Structure 1
Amino acid sequence: MTLQLGDAAPDFEADTTEGRIRFYDWLGDSWAVMFSHPKDFTPVCTTELGYMAKIKPEFDKRGVKIVGLSVDPVESHQRWIADIKDTQGSAPTYPMIGDPDLKVSKLYGMLPAAAGDTSEGRTAADNQTVRNVFIIGPDKKIKLILVYPMTTGRNFDEVLRVIDSMQLTAKHRVATPVNWTQGDDVIISGSVSDDEAKTIYPDGWKAPRPYIRIVPQPKD
């Protein structure tokens, strides 16, 4: 199964470090970030899980839930959490999905159907494609997919930046330009005619080209 932007995020039930969840029920009406790992006790993933724990308040402020997934049982995750706390200074305070039967990894297109039905005996290299970040909206649809190699740690500050853009553009008919961050100017969406834009932005806009209409970021 290949997931694309705009597809419904598949629902599932799974055991986590915070108990069993049905994904849609856990998600509710929130945004969510789900990020996956090929195996427990892998070094790059250890740093990622610790950093996410440190910056979780930033996701909380944005109304975004966090959930991790690793291709090992929950009991192994619990032991790994102790290492994460000792080495990174922060332990995950968000659920981590156990995927020992590989069902969730397959459901989200991170492992092929031929991968079998158990994590036992599989190495991190066997599961190296389980390195995705999914951002899922309140409508249960996939808004972003990032795939990283095992040797490159993920940039979760960038994930926050993307969420800021997505939440802004979901509320206002604008787009964000390259390297945009909170407070920077934005671009009026192409779906907004000039006549309509004059009503929305009575102070006008800068237009280096007719199709590039730049305005200050909406404040509300």
Structure 2
Amino acid sequence: MRRLLCLAILWFGAAWACPEDAVDLELSYPVPPYTEVAEFLRAKLRARGIPLAEPPSPCPRFFIALGQKAGEAIRRRDPNTPIVAALVLDEAAIQKLAPATGVWLMHPLEVQWQALRAWLPQLTQLTVLYDPRFAAQLDSLERLARRDRIRLHAVAVDSPKQLATVAERLPSVGAVFILGDGRVFNLTAAQALLLFARARRGCGRAVGAVGGGGGHVRPRLGV
């Protein structure tokens, strides 16, 4: 992802480079993974001689938005300046910020499943927390699980607040897989999963969590 993001930024930088503040970098939240990606990009921009506006410029040549919240905030202020986006869920999220380009987090479900099987080759049971709006993806996931003889336990989650209650009732499983977007599985949801995983570790039952969209789950849970 970082390589693709750098290519997008360098393309904009070559097109609009100027001797004064040219790029405005904005984060959705001042926490990992946003801060980690920001530091990586600052180093790459300095190495390429692309000036970074610090503090932010009132009229940058283009924006770098890390996360959907940052991109939407930029668009409310400035409807025309191009955006390079990262740490957003999918291509549709970037299209909403047009004119924009960037790299999104979501991969096809088959790719996510292959990554899960590579990470946990001995997995036999999997709990799936899913937003009901993603029921079609759940059907696809169930087909993949049947093919690989993995037992699924699917739990619908309608809101971030509900997740805390759901986590307390989850069975002992090898991992938790998330199907949804930021409407349900936001930072609050990640923190609830973190508490759940820590509690299970305390009982001698370590539980991992994986998901295709979340910039929060992996860094927050350390998996």
TM tier, smaller: under 0.3
TM-score, normalised on structure 2?
A: 0.26
Q: Which has the higher contact order (CA 8 A, sep 6+)?
A: 1
From the two aligned structures, give the one with the greater helix fraction.
2
